[in-house]
Amino acid sequence: MPTALIADDEEAARAQLLMALAQAWPELRVAEECVNGVDAWDAFLEHEPEVCFLDVRMPRLTGIEVAQRIGARAHTVFVAAHGDHALAAFDAGAVDYVLKPVDAERLVQAVARVKARMAAPSAAPADLQQLLGRLVGQVRKPAPLDVIQAGVGKDVRGVRVEDVVYFESDSRHTRVAYTDAQGDGEVLIRTPLKELVALLDAAQFWQIHRSIIVNHRYIASAVRVDDGKMVLSLCGRSEKLPVSRHFQGLFRAQ
């Protein structure tokens, strides 16, 4: 049974799409519904759906940004409003999309195309990176975070984001490991990793695990170990960071 993810910040739009999909693709199982791009990306890592229906304009991470992170690991169908400037690019790039309110006929067409690609011998999702790279700058994008504010006892310590080596989250805190003029250090913050994903410069900070984001400038090497696992070594530090299967494609020899 194929699985899907639906992400749209409008409750009515999500409900309408869900109802329309039940008619157009009754065997499809919706693994999760999300109200913003951050939750959509986190849900993708958790459920690994084969198809993602992403609203182009969502808070925190846009549908374009989520699709960039997903890459060719799932088939993407965008959901857009009439008149959205992204539609012309979608048409030119033969990208699947549906309009709000959902047109049942167009959804049936989009579903048919996705099914055909899934049934093809290669069954590989389309590579949309070049097109999405051109679009991402046209959709709302806040300035990247430049300082981390962390409570240390009664004090508030500021850590420059450029000095951060990596972020590592657990169920309660996110550990911020950094290196500055005084040497190595770390602080704890309450901002979960999935929130930081939307605040950091994706060109500098690479997510390598559902709970780890690393500053790529501090990566010394990536080593494959037994049974398909991979670990990162860091410049000047002893830690070994695990790389989950989703992100091993970041480290390929040229």
For each of the domains in the chain, give its residue range(s) and CATH number, in order of start.
3-136 (3.40.50.2300), 147-250 (2.40.50.1020)
> Please, what is the average pLDDT of the chain?
88
The pLDDT score that the predictor gives to residue 226 is 79
Per-residue pLDDT at 140 exceeds 60: no
Residue 23: how many CB atoms within 10 A of its CB?
Answer: 11
Per-residue pLDDT at 254 exceeds 60: no
The pLDDT score that the predictor gives to residue 121 is 65
The pLDDT score that the predictor gives to residue 253 is 63
Please, which residues have CB within 8 angstroms of residue 125's CB and are 6 or more apart in sequence? Answer: 72, 73, 74, 75, 76, 117
CB 193 within 8 A of CB 211: yes
Per-residue pLDDT at 51 exceeds 90: yes
Give Dmax (Cα) for the chain.
Answer: 62
Per-residue pLDDT at 129 exceeds 60: yes
Going by pLDDT thresholds of 50, 70 and 90, the confidence category of residue 59 is confident
The pLDDT score that the predictor gives to residue 105 is 87
pLDDT, average across residues 170-198: 90
Phi, psi of 150 (to 5 degrees): -125, 135
pTM of the model: 0.81
Which of the pair, 155 or 47, is modelled with greater confidence?
47
| Short-list 83, 200, 62, CA closest to 135 | 62
Please, which residues have CB within 8 angstroms of residue 57's CB and are 6 or more apart in sequence? Answer: 63, 80, 81, 84, 139, 140
Q: What is the C-alpha R_g of the chain?
A: 20
